[in-house]
Amino acid sequence: MFFDLFSKKDFCSICGREVAVKKLHPLDGGNICADCSSIIGLGERFDVKLTADEYRSFAADRVQIVKLRIASFVSANPGIMLDEGETCFFISLADIGKEKKRSITVKKGNTTERTTEEYFEKYPCRLLVTGKRILAIADQNGFEIKLAKLSDIRFGQDRVTFYSGSKAYLVFFAKKQAEKLHTLWNLLGAAGAADIDISVEALDSEITLTSDVEAYKEK
């Protein structure tokens, strides 16, 4: 039963990230992870016993938590020209993957035979995610997808696949960067579902994180 706490997982009701149950604070109607709870001064103090009213208060502050967490992703210098009102939330070195096939020789007992093997050619890129588009800047096979044209996005441990119409764009990341993008995507989804304004103007007061987070913890 004790070890179930480490293996069993659930989702944070704020950012949507899947984490071990042991790393979640229970809230009315859901849970809150350490990253989100740190915004309200709770952090990873899972031994702290809070009243039902305190938990309800934290859940009610969901909009502010989401805005502060999204603001922590904002890049002040993305290195590209942004449109008016466009905000860059994510920048990472990555590799665009293109599926290829090649003929290889396989040894079976005393004989050999030719077969086809699938593999990925990788093209280095710099991937950016803004509030309007996904942009992969590369010498070869770069791409740009307007978020309005994005039909799906699927996350793996070290890769993300973006779908737009009939096209699929595979991008390989370091595992931590893939996890970071997944968290950002969940937060953007939470903001959209709650109709939270994440424009530059709306986030402006949250972008100076240190003072804002500390002030918020003192509420």
Q: Please report the pLDDT score of residue 49 as a whole number.
A: 54
Considering only residues 182 and 198, tell me which one the structure prediction assigns the higher pLDDT.
Answer: 182
Average pLDDT of span 40-53: 55
Residue 66: pLDDT above 90?
no
pLDDT class of 116 with cuts at 50, 70, 90: confident
pLDDT at position 80 is 87
Of 4-8, 84-88, 112-116, 215-219, where does mean pLDDT reach its minimum? 215-219
| Separation of CA 106 from chain center | 40
Give the pLDDT of residue 39. 64
* Residue 84 reports pLDDT greater than 60: yes
Does residue 29 surpass a pLDDT of 80?
A: no
Burial class (CB in 10 A: 0-12, 13-18, 19+), 20: middle
Residue 68 to residues 62, 96, 176, 214, Cα–Cα distance (Å):
10, 31, 21, 11
**Cα distance between residue 195 and residue 173, in whole Å:** 30
At residue 163, the pLDDT reads 96
Mean pLDDT of the 5-14 span? 63
- Per the prediction, the chain carries an average pLDDT of 77
Query: For residue 65, what are the CA distances in angstroms to 29, 38, 68?
Result: 17, 9, 5
Band (pLDDT 50/70/90 cuts) for residue 219 is very low
User: pTM, whole model, 2 decimals?
Assistant: 0.70
Inform me whether the pLDDT recorded for 12 exceeds 90.
Answer: no
Q: Quick one: which of 156, 152, 153, 145 has its CA closest to 178?
A: 156
At position 107, the amino acid (one-letter code) is K
Residue 141 has pLDDT above 90, yes or no: yes
8-22, 92-106, 145-159, range with greatest mean pLDDT: 145-159
**Element containing residue 202 per DSSP (H, E):** helix 200-207
- Give yes or no for residue 50 having a pLDDT over 60: no
